[in-house]
A and B are shown apart, each in its own frame.
Chain A
Amino acid sequence: MTTKHTYSFILLALLLMLCFVVNISLGSVSIPFTEVFYSVLGHSENESWQYIIQDYRVPKAFTAILVGSGLGISGLLMQTLFRNPLAGPFVLGISSGASLGVALVILGSGLFGGVFASILISKWSIVIAASLGSFLVLLAVLLVSSKVRDTMAILIIGLMFGSITAAIVSVLAYFSSAEQLQQYIFWGFGSLGNLSWNELFIFFLIYLLGLLLALFSIKALNTFLLGENYAKSLGLNVKKSRFIIIIATSLLAGTITAFAGPIAFIGLAIPHMTRQIFNTSNHKILLPAVFLFGAIAMLICDSIAQLPSSDYTLPINAITSLIGAPVVVWLLVRQRKMVF
């Protein structure tokens, strides 16, 4: 790592801290900046402010960091593994699997009758349904892909499973009430709030496992830059590395979708942004850079979604694309050449 990159990393880390502070000081209830600081430390005299900061805004900011960094990293893994700049964390059908699980709970609950339905639609049941859904779809993709040698075939298989689940969701949606449909659509908007510290802890544990697997794949990812036959000639176990990369992605993207909904765009765009700015394909630099960029981007998007001093919170999914897409277009136009 050169000194040029060291400075960039220090700058990004500082920016991340700044975004974190700005993020927790913004919200529908306006709290003076010094009070925000005191509340974090637990010294605020205003109890409700302290509650808002400690049990809502800080966990939400941490969620944003996990979601942004996790989706960015899983997008990077998929883009390198599939040699495809259009790949993202959800190419293997993870989000469609989660959607199917949630759709079965929310939309399918009508089929089980009214009383049962109200028990079913708790937050944990949605988290579990999303996890189960993405896990099952991924399992199917892995089983089928263990039969094929070509990595590109896995990509197509993932897309096909995505289409199948999307079709089932449409059928369910067709037969459900307007109220259920609205609830399902709200889940689809994504949400960073609503996570308690306990839930955040479980989220973090699974995220950490995925992150560790991603870190252990850095060398393999760099070898994949040469192509699979070269990777093999360098002593890399291509099948095993491919498996670890897919598991890392599904742990990261799967938990994120389970806890925060299908957050679009970040996973596709952040790796591109990072490559354009750092102008490198070396994953030793890209991975930590994507981590920081992803976390920063998500904090900024969440801050915007808060619409300072307003009673409404905009859907996070709309903000990520609305803000992010022009930035990526601008970066590509400015550099005139896509770094991949």
Chain B
Amino acid sequence: MTESNTHNILKTKNLSIGYQTKKAATVITDNINLELKKGELIGLVGANGIGKSTLLRTLSTIQKPLEGLIAINNIPLENYTALELAKTMSLVLTEQLMSKNLSVEELVALGRQPYTNWVGNLSEVDISAVHKAIDQTNLSDLKHRKCFELSDGQLQKAMIARALAQDTDLIILDEPTTHLDMYHKAYILKLLQRLAKDTNKTILFSSHEIDLAIQLCDTIIVMTNDKVVSDSPCHLIEQGIFETLFPNDLIGFDQKTGSFRVKK
């Protein structure tokens, strides 16, 4: 492996996340130490309410960390200006678009905002980046469609294309597969895997599709009550980490198939 491939895009050290109110801090998870490498697809899994979204919100600066360090490309997050950060990290969130009266092409073009002039005119470079992002997500046939005409899966692809057009080292997606059927869940995650390989971007997503994540991800971050572990899926299975994900009264992890089974 060359040096650039082992380069850490995102690193956290003793990170503690939660909510700060006037009276006290509510710690959701602490002591998070992560190292995300360039060109990897990383899945973030864990039970409901364990703090997956909080972690992603903290990494994407929507929310402040309680303690600890987050560094992107070895530069602490707080040293970035808003614009520099926008050129380094792009997001796909669970929140609804405010206006769905945009065409797919217009939506993807909004990803170029950090690069455009004061009125938002697209340069040649911007236009080619938009077209590339549309091609990479197989949206060429839909690019003149309005967002309200799209299915959930198509809209999610368009949001991914918008993040790609932003041309960042790191893309963070919060539960990109919710509301999608089984086929499209696999389709979106497979697309993310291909994009990580083709574009050498680091893609971090949270998901409840643990079996798909095991099959597709280079690294999986598992959040449990006690700790946050990140490793390759095979190592995690060997260490029996997935067994500790959920209470074990209803479902159990089957190491052979790499999926959860309902207990008889």
Q: A-side interface residues toward B, CB under 8 Å?
A: 83, 215-216, 218-219, 222-227, 229-230, 232-237, 275, 279-282, 284, 339-340
**Cross-interface CB contact of A235 among B85, B93, B99, cutoff 8 Å:** B85
B114-134 interface with A by 8 A CB criterion: 114, 116, 118-120
Determine if B97 and A229 form an interchain contact, defined as CB atoms under 8 angstroms apart. Answer: no
Determine if B98 and A233 form an interchain contact, defined as CB atoms under 8 angstroms apart. Answer: no
Residues of A within 8 A of B81 (CB): 235
Q: What per-residue 1/0 map shows which CB atoms of B143-158 lie under 8 Å from chain A?
A: 0000000000000000
Determine if B166 and A234 form an interchain contact, defined as CB atoms under 8 angstroms apart. Answer: yes
Alpha-carbon separation in the docked complex, A147 to B106 (Å): 34
Determine if A226 and B101 form an interchain contact, defined as CB atoms under 8 angstroms apart. Answer: no
Alpha-carbon separation in the docked complex, A83 to B101 (Å): 13
Q: Is B102 an interface residue (CB 8 A)?
A: yes
Alpha-carbon separation in the docked complex, A83 to B97 (Å): 10
Interface size class of B (residues with CB under 8 A): 20 to 34
Task: Give the Cβ gap from A159 to chain B, nearest Cβ, in Å.
Answer: 20
Q: Which residue of B lies closest to A215 (CB)?
A: B119
Determine if B86 and A235 form an interchain contact, defined as CB atoms under 8 angstroms apart. Answer: yes
Residues of A within 8 A of B114 (CB): 234-235
Task: Give the Cβ gap from B29 to chain A, nearest Cβ, in Å.
Answer: 21
Residues of B within 8 A of A226 (CB): 97-98, 107, 110
Q: Is B1 an interface residue (CB 8 A)?
A: no
Determine if A222 and B95 form an interchain contact, defined as CB atoms under 8 angstroms apart. Answer: no
Residues of A within 8 A of B96 (CB): 227
Could you say which of A83, A223, A234, A275 has the most chain B C-beta atoms within 10 Å of its C-beta?
A: A234
Q: Is B82 an interface residue (CB 8 A)?
A: yes
Residues of B within 8 A of A282 (CB): 102, 106
Alpha-carbon separation in the docked complex, A235 to B168 (Å): 12
Q: What per-residue 1/0 map shows which CB atoms of B72-83 lie under 8 Å from chain A?
A: 000000000111
Determine if A235 and B113 form an interchain contact, defined as CB atoms under 8 angstroms apart. Answer: yes
Q: Which residue of B lies closest to A238 (CB)?
A: B82
Task: Give the Cβ gap from B138 to chain A, nearest Cβ, in Å.
Answer: 22
Task: Give the Cβ gap from B210 to chain A, nearest Cβ, in Å.
Answer: 26
**Cross-interface CB contact of A219 among B102, B106, B107, B116, cutoff 8 Å:** B116
Determine if B97 and A233 form an interchain contact, defined as CB atoms under 8 angstroms apart. Answer: no
Alpha-carbon separation in the docked complex, A282 to B109 (Å): 11
Residues of A within 8 A of B61 (CB): 232
Residues of A within 8 A of B111 (CB): 234
Could you say which of A224, A236, A279, A281 has the most chain B C-beta atoms within 10 Å of its C-beta?
A: A281
Task: Give the Cβ gap from B255 to chain A, nearest Cβ, in Å.
Answer: 38
Q: Is B32 an interface residue (CB 8 A)?
A: no
Q: Which residue of B lies closest to A283 (CB)?
A: B120
**Cross-interface CB contact of B99 among A232, A236, A281, cutoff 8 Å:** A281
Alpha-carbon separation in the docked complex, A236 to B81 (Å): 10
Determine if B83 and A235 form an interchain contact, defined as CB atoms under 8 angstroms apart. Answer: yes
Q: Is B91 an interface residue (CB 8 A)?
A: yes
Task: Take A232-B62, A234-B86, A284-B119 as given contacts and tell me if A223 and B101 are in contact as well, using a CB distance cutoff of 8 Å.
Answer: no
Determine if A284 and B120 form an interchain contact, defined as CB atoms under 8 angstroms apart. Answer: yes
Give me the 5 closest cross-chain CB pairs, A-B, nearest first: A235-B86, A235-B83, A219-B120, A225-B99, A281-B101
Alpha-carbon separation in the docked complex, A279 to B106 (Å): 13
Determine if A225 and B62 form an interchain contact, defined as CB atoms under 8 angstroms apart. Answer: no
Determine if A218 and B120 form an interchain contact, defined as CB atoms under 8 angstroms apart. Answer: yes
Q: Is B192 an interface residue (CB 8 A)?
A: no
